[in-house]
A and B are shown apart, each in its own frame.
Chain A
Amino acid sequence: MSGNTEALKQNVVWRRRTPQGDVLAWGAWLAIVLATVLSFRQISNVTIWDFVWDAPQQGADLLSRAVPPRWGYASVLWKPLWDTVNMATMGTLAAVILGIPVAVLAARNTTPSVLLVRPLALFVIVASRSINSLIWALVLVVIIGPGPLAGTLAIALRSVGFIGKLLYEAIEEIDPVQVEATEATGASRAQVLAWGIMPQVAPAIAGIGVFRWDINIREATVLGLVGAGGIGLQLEASVATLAWPQVSVILLLILATVIVSEWVSVRVRQAIT
């Protein structure tokens, strides 16, 4: 209080930040603007701007070719679409199964060794998350040949990191009392895991799994572009032959599928929590 009245007497101008804070804030903004301008120049240098100014016309042209959609083509698409959904579902299941042990190893309160095992598990998580499923698919198609299996594995490999990360955060936030109670009965490590920890994170596992499944449906639609099965294969073929009416059918089908899967996912997650 006395500080305030003194300040009033001395006619102090109140500032939101300290002078250093001001410099830092302005410096940060300057850095962002500078980085953006330099980056844009870099991009602009390798862009053929004539094509860009042409874009609205090209877009209109594309649209006029894509409409009306060739609905008859849809009959060919049910099987690839089913494959796509299966790839996402199986991939997510595999990722949940693989992601649980990784998360247990990565969580600070359950890892056998904070120094040795935890960094390894964290690296697995980051590596899996950093590499897009399309790149995993690109690599896997060469190893196990084209087809839905490559796509399923690609989805699984990409999702392990996602599920592992969210799950280990959930494990670190559990209530330690239940763990202690289980330990107090003389339970082994595995028993503590099964009875003290798993019941607490089971809803999280289900929620994360369904959330990722929804994302995976979206991802699975493009895996066919590199030969990993699903509707992307038809898309690739249609784009390559400039069959835009078929492209529009595929895109509309994908839109419908994704909206349905998102609805399912939201419903399930609401039911869980």
Chain B
Amino acid sequence: MEINWTRAAEGWQRGGRFLAAFVPPDFTSKWDDIAEGLLESVTMTVVSTVLGLALSVPVAVGAARNLAPRPVYLLCRAVLVVSRTFQEVLIAILFVAMFGFGPLAGTLTLAFATIGFVGKLLAEDIEATDPAQLEAMRATGGSFLQGLAWGILPQVKPRLLGLSLYRVDINFRESAVLGIVGAGGIGATLNTSLDRYEFDTAAAILLLIILIVMVCEYVSGVIRRAAL
């Protein structure tokens, strides 16, 4: 790694001034933009999580070795690998090129990333289920779907719930960066404020992101305790 140490040494002073520009955080002067950006991030989070979960459950079933026939298994595993390999921002660049600027591209990006994350972990959990329960369902003449609903689902439900709640967190955090490539959300507001050297507004946005993530973690903890 090439480091220009003189540049780095000079930077500290500049960095100090730069950091000083962040305080105090300015919540008020750009509040309308911040509120709009946050609302957009939240809506993106909700839709992408629901959509991503709805899609990831069938993919997870397909990617479980104990349930899916070989060709389906390989196809679903390929989907998971592609979805997990590329950082959200890379996918967002492509989706913005395809779907145009705005929160829809970001939402689809997050939904796609959710498939990879939830799909892989859920598939592993399905593979680890006790086969006796599924066999019992089949022995009573249950169809494949009934086997899933009564033999598999009860066993993976806690994991599915945990993953979903965790993914809400992640999707919100990721929605904060997608704006940098034009895919909507609070990231766009943040990027604009940094570009305009309005560091106090940027600080306010960063604090709000941290606050919302903390609230999310607290709420998901409460839900997890209540539901399990």
Contacts and interface: CB of A to CB of B under 8 A. Distances in A.
Given A147-B2, A239-B93, A139 B174 contact: no
Contacts, number: 141
Interface in B170-214: 173-174, 176-177, 180-181, 184, 187, 190-191, 194, 202, 206, 209-210, 213-214
Nearest to A56: B98
Interface stretch (A68-76, A97-105, A191-199, A220-228): A220-228
Interface residues of A, number: 53
B64 interface: no
A43 B11 contact: no
Contacts of B102: 43, 46-48
Interface string B1-26: 11110011001001100110000000
Contact of A138 (B47, B93, B191): B191
Contacts of A143: 11, 14-15, 18-19
B114 interface: no
B15 A144 contact: yes
A254 B90 contact: yes
A87 B1 CA distance: 8
A187 interface: no
Interface string A19-63: 000000000000010011011101110111001100100110010
A58 B98 contact: yes
Given A145-B4, A251-B90, A132 B176 contact: yes
B181 A59 contact: no
Given A52-B100, A147-B2, A142 B7 contact: no
A130 B210 contact: yes
B56 interface: no
Interface in A94-147: 126-127, 129-132, 134-135, 138-139, 142-145, 147
B167 to A, nearest CB: 14
A27 to B, nearest CB: 13
A134 B14 contact: no
Nearest to A259: B85
Nearest to B207: A127
Contact of A255 (B85, B177, B210): B85
Contacts of A218: 85-87
Interface in A175-233: 218-219, 221-222, 225-226
B148 to A, nearest CB: 19
Contacts of B18: 142-143
B119 interface: no
A55 B202 CA distance: 33
Interface in B77-119: 81-82, 85-87, 89-90, 93-94, 97-100, 102-104, 107
Interface size classification for chain B:
35 or more
B218 to A, nearest CB: 10
Interface stretch (B27-35, B38-46, B121-129, B136-144): B38-46
Contacts of B177: 132, 134-135
B90 A39 contact: no
Contacts of A131: 173, 176, 206, 209-210
Contacts of A266: none
Nearest to A244: B97
A90 interface: yes
A258 interface: yes
A148 interface: yes
A226 B180 contact: yes
Given A86-B1, A144-B11, A39 B173 contact: no
Contacts of B100: 47-48, 51-52
A264 to B, nearest CB: 14
A41 to B, nearest CB: 9
B68 interface: no
Contact of A90 (B1, B173, B181): B1
Contacts of B81: 259
A144 B16 CA distance: 11
Interface of A: 32, 35-36, 38-40, 42-44, 46-48, 51-52, 55, 58-59, 62, 83, 86-87, 90, 126-127, 129-132, 134-135, 138-139, 142-145, 147-149, 152, 218-219, 221-222, 225-226, 235, 239, 251, 254-255, 258-259
13 contacts: A39-B44, A43-B47, A44-B104, A46-B40, A51-B99, A55-B99, A62-B94, A152-B1, A218-B85, A218-B86, A219-B87, A255-B85, A258-B86
